[in-house]
Amino acid sequence: MTDSTINFGSSTVLGYPRIGPRRELKHALEAYWDGRSTLPDLLLTGQQLRAATWQRLAALGLTALPSNTFSYYDHVLDTAILLDAVPDRYRALGEPHDTHFAMAPYFAMGRGTDDLAPLRMTKWFDTNYHYIVPEIGPATAFRLADDKPIAEVREARALGLRTRPVLLGPVTFLLLSQPASGGPAGFTPLSRLDDVLDVYADLLAALRAEGVDWVQLDEPALVADRTGDELAAVRLAYHRLGRLADRPRLLVASYFGELADALPALAETPIDGIGVDLVRGRLPDTSTLAGKTVLAGVVSGRDVWRTDLNRALEVLRQAQDLAGDVVVSTSCPLLHVPYDLAAETHLEPALRDRLAFAEQKVAEVVALADRLSRTTGTAGTGTITTEPSRIVSEPGSALPARASRSPYHVRAAAQSEHLRLPALPVTTIGSFPQTGELRAARAAVAGGRMDREQYERRIEAEIDQVIRLQERLGLDVLVHGEPERNDMVQYFAEHLDGFATTNNGWVQSYGSRCTRPPILHDTVSRPAPITVRWARYAQSLTSKPVKGMLTGPVTVVAWSFVRDDLPLRDVVGQVAEAIREEVMDLEAAGISVIQVDEPALRELMPLRRGAQAEYLDWAVAAYRHATSGAGDRTQIHTHLCYSETAEVIAAIDALDADVTTVESARSGARLLAEPAINGFGRGLGPGVYDIHSPRVPGTAEVADLLATALQVLPADRVWVNPDCGLKTRTYPEIEAALRNVVTAARRTRAALE
């Protein structure tokens, strides 16, 4: 058993951003993938980023530093590699644990190859981070196949620093996995818990032999509703790991909400510490935490607002009454916030004074730990003050009275007569590749090196190219390619009142993909049309319909850092009104197909079932308000991707969009197997091309996916489209892929005649 005198310390964070302050990891990954650098170059960048993080956290005053929070692609994928849960089809590429797993099998599982599709990808709980879904079967042979957690302990020690390795907990790992295809009916990955625990036991013993004092096991799945069998698995796992004869001290960390019934299940096991989210959750009413070290997550890891230190200090003192040893921490890993506010000197001082990015949140944690240690409760280091008064605007009506659109069958008839589309119409989701030249042009106009007229000519030239390419390939409903947009949310934030945008506020979305979430801090309104100028220009180039492209109100809010002084539904309602105005202006400009995307509909849904119905009610109402100004002839599309879409299929139907496009190719058409799809009463486009992989699908592969769709949907309601936008791909990739998509659609269409 571990030495009971080992002290955790007074302050820590559950994890830290890993992309680098200037997206160094993104640039290193893409250079390696493109053949512009070598594997040693990539590994060196990773080593430098890890070292810089540990040294900076120590300099800021944290007493306990996390390690093994860095990843070259995704921490869930890292765990699959660690446990050797590698499907056989990837093993021919090499040993995945060579050179700390940064080899072909690892990236093939995340991105795919010319010959291999990647593993499925979906959202990490209710965040915009995407994780790679492991495949687990009855025959998966688990073993300790990698030394990454140990190697990082050694790296930090070479710098004179001790760290706490962070591991994805065994229960959450299995709950997030999917059964491997071909397994027996009723098999669940959680049934393999005993075998996985064998590997965790081996790893814990190795870490203890390495001199590690504490290990953090992340179990965020425990803040969602869990069955009795799943809670029994929690007890089994942590009784077994807690009773190991020679192990480090074990901290089980939860986040994104309250543990609820999982808390007593954990507390009765012989683990040493429990991490609780006290931003989204509350302290328990009883002495459940007695005898445990408690990591009290009082500094939010999900937003960019400064912490009210006095309020947080009161919560910490209450925690001390329930547990003997309280450590100040963030509510969750800081993966979901930008690095440093210091880079954002352009922000208005009144707003800037309300903000805290990752580095500032670490300083808050340290200041709170200092104040908690003082018996007088006076201010800590003096470098952090309590939260300034919020600027509170008067809320408007959450959802103004709206006009109802005609019933779907009326609209469908009007649209059929007006648009005259063929069966199985082919379209794309919206964006086309964002070239280096486009990004350079945006930077030049922002920096004053290119005038507005030159920039607009450059954008028009790109739209010309995109329209001509789609006509040449034979698509039926075109898009303008969105060359003027940096991001599907940030672009709208830059044109709406109530938002601020950052220069360097990057947050990882998946792999090398990063976004800059806007900051929604005041009342939202639309001072002028946003997209009409480019949609009208694109439509003037072709006789085929060109879609107007908008981002839905729920997604704009979900992918922003949102003010917390108004109910979320009221904020979404303000955005919905702005989008409604844009829809009406697009229609008035002659745009007959308008896509209002809501990929975050499932993502923003509360993790607990008891709160989901209310959320879906107002989220659907917001979307319907945003689209309610369109006439019957105007076809409204929406798009959802890379989330558990099947869980909200009834709500998707209730959005009342005329056509819904969804991710399907990467997940192997799982959605089409859902019984609810048979009752879906509108147009549906299950994706036939996974755009998050560089591989080009063959014509036969696309045709097979279309055949699967036609088995469950009538042909007059099936659309043909990629899984998502094409922004991250190259023109050679998408031209080859779309040519195959069109060919497969035409062959399938001919077979129906």
The residues assigned a catalytic role are 692
Identify how many contiguous H helices and E strands the chain contains and give both numbers: 24, 21
Grouping H, G, I as helix, E, B as strand and the rest as coil, residue 711 is helix
**Burial class of residue 36 (count of CB atoms within 10 Å of its CB; 0-12, 13-18, 19+):** exposed
User: Which DSSP category does 431 fall into?
Assistant: B
CA–CA distances in Å: residue 503 to residues 21, 487, 500, 654, 662 = 12, 13, 10, 38, 31
d(CA 683, CA 663): 14
Closest among 382, 273, 377 to 316, alpha carbons compared: 377
The DSSP code sequence of 284-310 is -SSSTTTTSEEEEEEE-SSS-BPP-HH
d(CA 145, CA 203): 10
Query: Would you say 190 and 230 are in contact if contact means Cβ atoms under 8 Å apart?
Result: yes
246 phi, psi to nearest 5 deg: -140, 100
Contacts of 257 (CB under 8 A, 6+ apart): 223, 224, 277, 280, 281, 607, 608
The first and second tokens of residue 498, run together, are 């109530």
d(CA 101, CA 71): 10
d(CA 642, CA 723): 9
**Residue 209 parent element (H or E):** helix 193-209
In sign, the C-alpha dihedral spanning 706, 712, 718, 720 is: negative
Query: Would you say 649 and 130 are in contact if contact means Cβ atoms under 8 Å apart?
Result: no
Residue type for position 646: A
Neighbours of 528 (CB within 10 A): 10
User: Which DSSP category does 522 fall into?
Assistant: E
d(CA 383, CA 375): 19
Closest among 309, 218, 227 to 255, alpha carbons compared: 218
The first and second tokens of residue 375, run together, are 């018996």
Q: For Cα atoms 30, 31, 37, give the angle at the middle one, nearest 5 degrees.
A: 150
Neighbours of 461 (CB within 10 A): 12
Q: Point out which residues pair with 12 in neighbouring strands.
A: 64
Q: For Cα atoms 37, 42, 47, give the angle at the middle one, nearest 5 degrees.
A: 150
Q: Which residues of 194-214 are buried (b: 16+ CB within 10 A; e: fewer)?
A: eebbebbeebbbebbebebbb
Beta strand 135-136 pairing with 178-179: parallel
323 phi, psi to nearest 5 deg: -140, 150
Query: Would you say 294 and 288 are in contact if contact means Cβ atoms under 8 Å apart?
Result: no
